[in-house]
Chains A and B, each alone.
Chain A
Amino acid sequence: DAKTTQPNSMESNEEEPVHLPCNHSTISGTDYIHWYRQLPSQGPEYVIHGLTSNVNNRMASLAIAEDRKSSTLILHRATLRDAAVYYCILSSNSNSGYALNFGKGTSLLVTP
C-alpha cells in the first residue's frame, strides 16, 4: 500500500487558517488522496478528496502538488470544533477495491 507521512501534531489559534501537510512520495497514478478527521469518541468523518486538481468544499480545501507527491489540507478559519485527528490516506485500487488504510494522522489542537 502507498503510504503517507504527516506531522504527529499541530497547533492553531481560533479563527486563523490551518495548513495540514501530507507527503505521499510513492503515490501511483490511480491513487486518490482522501482526508478524514476524527473527533474524540466518534468515528472518522469524510472531509475531502482529490486526484490531481485542487478541490474545495464547504469544509475545507485540498491543494495537491503538481507532481502529486504531497498535498495540503486547508481549513480557512479554524474553530474549536475543528480540534481532531486529521488523516491523509491514499485510496488505492486492490483486490478488495479501494479500501482505506489509516495511519496515525495529525492531531490538531485549536486554542482560543
Chain B
Amino acid sequence: ETGVTQTPRHLVMGMTNKKSLKCEQHLGHNAMYWYKQSAKKPLELMFVYSLEERVENNSVPSRFSPECPNSSHLFLHLHTLQPEDSALYLCASSQAHRGDYGYTFGSGTRLTVV
C-alpha cells in the first residue's frame, strides 16, 4: 500500500452503465489528481484538485465527472462510456503548489468498457 487507496481494482461496465471510481488518501495532502493510462500510451493528466477546488480539466469528455468532497477523497463518476475509455485510471495526491514535493500514486483501477 502506498497511502493512496483506489477502489475497485478492476471494473467491467457496459456502455449504458453508471459507475464511480473512488480514491482515498490519509497522508495529509491537499492536492489530488486523476490520470488515465491507455495501453502503450503515456499517462494523461485528466483532472487536478487543489485545496478541494478543481483547477484543471484537460479537455476531458463530460462522460467523466470528478468530485472532491474533501481533501482526503476523490471520485470519478462514469456514465455512457465508450470502449476506447478502457484504461488504467490512476489517482495521485501531493501538496498543492509545491514543486519540491513528490506525488503518491494509487495502484489504479483497471476499467474495461464492453
**Taking beta carbons and an 8 Å cutoff, which residues of A are in contact with B?**
30-32, 34, 36, 42-46, 49, 51, 91-93, 95-105
B114 within 8 A of A: no
A97-B50, A97-B55 given; A30·B99 CB < 8 A: yes
- Is A102 within 8 A of B42, CB to CB? yes
Chain A residues with CB under 8 A of B42: 102-105
* B: number of interface residues (CB 8 Å): 29
B108 contact set on A, CB distance < 8 A: 42-43
Q: How far is the CB of B72 from chain A (nearest CB, A)?
A: 18
Contact count A vs B, C-beta below 8 Å: 67
Across the interface, do A49 and B103 meet the contact criterion of CB distance under 8 Å?
Answer: no
Chain B: minimal CB distance from A32 (Å): 4
Given A43-B108, A44-B103, A45-B105: A97 and B45 interface contact (C-beta under 8 Å): no
Residues of B within 8 A of A43 (CB): 2, 4, 90, 92, 105-108
- Complexed CA–CA distance, A101 and B36 (Å): 12
Q: How far is the CB of B90 from chain A (nearest CB, A)?
A: 5
Interface presence of B104 (CB below 8 A): yes
Per the 8 Å Cβ criterion, residues 63-114 of B in contact with A are: 90, 92, 94, 96-108
Residues of chain A within 8 A of B21, CB atoms compared: none
Within 8 Å by CB of A44, from B44, B45, B90, B98, lies: B90
Q: How many Å from the CB of A64 to the closest CB on chain B?
A: 14
Contacts of A34 in B (CB 8 A): 102
Cβ of B43 within 8 Å of any chain A Cβ, yes or no, is yes
CB-CB under 8 A for A96 and B50, given A43-B92, A44-B90, A101-B45 = yes
Nearest B residue to A94 by beta-carbon distance?
Answer: B56
Cβ of A96 and Cβ of B2 under 8 Å apart? no
Instruction: Tell me which of A46, A96, A99, A104 contacts B102 (CB under 8 A).
Output: A46
Of chain A, the residue at the smallest CB distance from B51 is A97
**Cβ A97 vs Cβ B103 within 8 A:** no
- Which residues does chain B contribute within 8 Å of A100, judged by CB atoms? 33, 45, 103
The CA of A44 and the CA of B75, in the complex, are separated in Å by 19
